[in-house]
């Protein structure tokens, strides 16, 4: 590498999604040069890794890139709606057109190595040196599939949600969907709408109301200051950092997802958490009732929080009847034969894990998770952005990216000033 020409720039940003380009824009406003390396194309995850019917779960008004709010500078006409996939990429492309980042697409970053001062960044387009590195790659590098998936009969079709686009990718017959986070329950609805037999392995994900007492639940929570709570202020930060997102849907103008109702009205077969696979047999934990109850407990808790805010502020809002369970499992099946159940395919929707093996800095815990405060690590000049609970609930979403990117730009400007002094 010593004989390789090295190009210098103050800041290297790795990842050309909304977090990386927002940071680049905030740095540009401070007169700080940066370059953004994106291994695919800008906004690749939104453009290529979402299914055809994908739409936002949070309302459009929460799309607040710096100086480019959906219902402000962008001029969006449906702030309370939920943008579809192509509408999301239109919004993001318009932001990129406005901010004109120094962006290199199709560039793979293979290594980031700290030096005595600054970093050397090795890429597929050459070697770069810089004082500051911003990692904006998100947490969706490696799709998660359990080891026992390899024990499943080769006659059963398998796919991860990252590759799912539409129902007709799957063979005829029933589908077992594994995972009930936001992706799993929305893919469940895709298959039920297509008239397919759906079997769902229900995990511990919580659920949320959609509309409650006359407004979207997220509107109430925003007004109540819920989304402004920082990780430092959170009563249970460990739970906040590890809990799966609450599931609901933005489809058809926004709706709740009640798995009990899908069982009763759509015939979706529900099981507990997936435990093992062997040939054509699949086993589940006996935790279906618990997982459904826990999800409902979260649902009711959010309603209670909204009720308390309405009462405290003296707001005139319509009352709603108390929550009642539509159905309860009388007994839980812990093992099924896929052929007997008519199941011909498995769709994995149990998430992703990040890959930071290319970063040669001691900023990771024993599980490989980066350690930071508001994205700033203990290693001078190395930062992360676009991750959940970087500072608030909105940090890994559109809602918090403006605050996070402006804060990080301030921190980078301060570190560069100290270096120059």
Instruction: Evaluate if residue 405 carries a pLDDT over 80.
Output: yes
What's the DSSP call for residue 305? H
Helix locations, 10-84, DSSP H: 18-29, 44-48
| The pLDDT of residue 311 | 98
pLDDT in tens, 259-290: 999 999 999 999 999 999 999 999 999 999 99
Using DSSP bridges, classify how beta strands 132-135 and 343-348 pair: parallel, antiparallel or unpaired. Answer: unpaired
| The pLDDT of residue 2 | 52
| The pLDDT of residue 3 | 62
Instruction: Evaluate if residue 56 carries a pLDDT over 70.
Output: yes
Tell me what the pLDDT averaged over the chain comes to: 96
Residue 20's pLDDT band (boundaries 50, 70, 90)? very high
- 104-117 burial: b if 16+ Cβ within 10 Å, else e: beebebeebebeee
| The pLDDT of residue 185 | 96
Neighbours of 301 (CB within 10 A): 12
Q: Which of 38-42, 109-113, 135-139 has the lowest mean pLDDT?
A: 135-139
| The pLDDT of residue 245 | 87
Instruction: Parse the chain into domains and list their residue ranges.
Output: 6-141+354-420, 143-348
3-state SS assignment for residue 186:
helix
| The pLDDT of residue 5 | 85
Report, as an integer, the average pLDDT of 410-414.
Answer: 98
Cβ-contact 116, 362 below 8 angstroms: no
Cβ-contact 10, 131 below 8 angstroms: yes
| The pLDDT of residue 421 | 85
What's the DSSP call for residue 281? E
Neighbours of 352 (CB within 10 A): 16
Report, as an integer, the average pLDDT of 105-120.
Answer: 97
Q: What is the spatial distance between Cα 288 and Cα 333, in angstroms, rounded to a whole number?
A: 9
pLDDT in tens, 148-176: 999 999 999 999 999 999 999 999 999 99
Q: What is the spatial distance between Cα 199 and Cα 244, in angstroms, rounded to a whole number?
A: 21
pLDDT in tens, 342-374: 999 999 999 998 999 999 999 999 989 999 999
As beta bridge partners, residue 34 has 11
Cβ-contact 309, 217 below 8 angstroms: no
Cβ-contact 41, 25 below 8 angstroms: no
| Architecture of the domain made up of 6-141+354-420 | 3-Layer(bba) Sandwich (3.50)
Neighbours of 204 (CB within 10 A): 15
* Lookup result for tokens 């905030």: 26
| The pLDDT of residue 114 | 97
């Amino acid at each position: 590498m010593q004989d390789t020409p090295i190009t210098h720039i103050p800041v290297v940003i790795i990842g050309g999604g909304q977090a990386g380009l927002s940071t680049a824009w905030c740095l540009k406003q401070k007169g700080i040069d940066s370059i953004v390396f994106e291994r695919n194309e800008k906004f690749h995850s939104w453009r290529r890794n979402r299914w055809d019917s994908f739409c936002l779960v949070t309302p459009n008004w929460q799309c607040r890139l710096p100086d480019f709010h959906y219902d402000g500078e962008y001029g969006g006409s449906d702030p309370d709606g939920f943008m579809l996939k192509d509408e999301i990429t239109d919004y993001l492309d318009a932001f990129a057109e406005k901010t004109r980042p120094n962006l290199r697409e199709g560039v793979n970053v293979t290594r980031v190595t700290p030096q005595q001062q600054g970093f050397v960044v090795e890429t597929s387009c050459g070697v770069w040196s810089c004082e500051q590195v911003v990692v904006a790659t998100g947490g969706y590098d490696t799709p998660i599939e359990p080891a026992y998936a390899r024990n499943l009969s080769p006659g059963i079709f398998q796919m991860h949600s990252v590759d799912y686009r539409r129902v007709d990718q799957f063979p005829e017959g029933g589908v077992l969907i594994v995972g009930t986070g936001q992706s799993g329950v929305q893919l469940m609805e895709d298959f039920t709408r297509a008239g397919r037999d759906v079997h769902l392995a229900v995990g511990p994900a919580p659920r949320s109301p959609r509309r409650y007492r006359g407004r979207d639940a997220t509107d109430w929570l925003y007004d109540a200051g819920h989304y402004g709570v920082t990780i430092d202020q959170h009563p249970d930060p460990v739970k906040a950092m590890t809990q799966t997102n609450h599931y609901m849907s933005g489809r058809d103008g926004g709706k709740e997802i009640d798995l009990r109702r899908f069982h009763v009205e759509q015939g979706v077969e529900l099981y507990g958490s997936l435990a093992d696979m062997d040939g054509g047999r699949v086993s589940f934990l006996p935790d279906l009732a618990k997982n459904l109850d826990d999800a409902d407990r979260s649902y009711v808790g959010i309603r209670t929080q909204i009720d308390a805010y309405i009462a405290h502020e003296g707001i005139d809002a319509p009352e709603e009847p108390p929550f009642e369970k539509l159905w309860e499992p009388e007994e839980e099946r812990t093992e099924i034969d896929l052929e007997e159940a008519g199941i011909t395919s498995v769709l994995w929707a149990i998430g992703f894990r990040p890959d930071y093996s290319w970063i040669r800095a001691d900023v990771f815990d024993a599980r490989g998770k980066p350690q930071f405060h508001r994205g700033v690590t203990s290693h001078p000049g190395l930062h992360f952005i676009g991750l959940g609970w970087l500072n608030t609930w909105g940090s890994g979403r559109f809602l918090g990216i403006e605050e996070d990117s402006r804060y990080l730009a301030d921190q980078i400007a301060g570190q560069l000033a100290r270096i120059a002094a």
